[in-house]
Amino acid sequence: MFVIDCPWCGARPQSEFSAHGEAHIRRPADPEAASDAEWASYLFERENPKGPVLERWRHDHGCRRWFNIARDTATDAIFASYPADAPPPELPAHAGAPPPAPAPPLGQEPAADITDSRREEP
């Protein structure tokens, strides 16, 4: 559990809040002209990165207001909380542990040596 700083109520335990995914999702500018693919992207496609993100939260057991936070999904460190209609803060490049090395393409062995040190040589 971590503590979230509600812009109106101050620091409260996470259990008072509910998370609602990525913040600043833009609705299609012309809904009548949007294709099915554009609607599917708007409704379902999210980034879901490991590291700093902007998220929508609601203070369910408090003021019941919506707001956004800037949080590192790897460490749960919160950099900022701000009203939903405020401009987003600038995110750090990566505030947690260094990002993992990219995975090798499917069907290829990883580049790093991953021999099991517990195994004895014959």
Comparison of 9 and 40: residue with beta carbon closer to Zn ion: 9
Please choose, from the candidates 96, 83, 71, the residue with its C-alpha nearest in 3D space to the C-alpha of residue 8. 83
Determine which residue in the list 59, 69, 71, 78 makes contact with Zn ion, applying CB under 5 A: 59
- Residue 62 C-beta: closest distance to Zn ion, Å: 4
Only one of the segments 37-45, 48-56, 57-65, 91-99 lies at the binding site for Zn ion (rule: CB under 5 A); that segment is 57-65
Distance between CA 91 and CA 77 in Å, rounded? Answer: 12
54 binds Zn ion (CB under 5 A): no
Angle (CA) 45-46-52 rounded to 5° is 170
